[in-house]
Amino acid sequence: MIALYIVYCDGACSGNPGPGGWAWVALAGGEIREAYGGEPVTTNNRMELLAAIEGLSSLKARMDTEELKAGPVEVRTDSQYVKNGVTSWIASWKRNGWRTAGKTPVKNRDLWERLDEISTTLSARWVWVEGHSGEVWNERCDELARRGVAENR
């Protein structure tokens, strides 16, 4: 039986826009791997999206090299924006030519397209977790994302 692969992800920003950070922690193949990064001028939403993209991309790369067998993937995020966007809103955005219900262009389209592709490829299941509630790996992502902010000031 193939184990469930879990990717936690989080983004942070100091000012909006301002210096930002993203982070992920993956529980896969009996290992815990993590990474973080950031940008000097960005938004919180972009960092939340980039965290998910980077975490899933890392997991997919391990599957592509057969380091990990393909298996079920669950993404845990404390961002309602990311979770609702990828599980609900994105279908309408694509049907409407990347326009919102209010007919305005979807913000962060470049990242949404990347996230949609990788999430669909991995058939990822999305779960919202409450931020700052003591969940160990979500808290670790928050810590790493804040490190990404600090390193981009």
> What structural domains and CATH numbers belong to the chain?
5-150 (3.30.420.10)
pLDDT digits (tens, 9 = 90+) for 71-106: 999 999 999 999 999 999 999 999 999 999 999 999
pTM greater than the 0.85 cutoff: yes
64 assigned to active site? no
How many whole angstroms separate alpha carbon 43 and alpha carbon 48? 9
Residue 79 makes CB contacts below 8 A (sequence gap 6+) with: 10, 11, 45, 48, 128
Catalytic residue flag (residue 21): no
Please say if 74 is a catalytic residue: no
Mean pLDDT of 13-42: 96
Among residues 20, 21, 48, 85, the one annotated as catalytic is: 48
Q: Starting at the edge strand that comes first in sequence, how are the strands of the sheet with 125-128 ordered?
A: 31-42, 18-28, 5-13, 73-77, 125-128
Check whether 113 has a pLDDT greater than 70: yes
Q: Out of 20, 38, 39, 142, pick the active-site residue.
A: 142
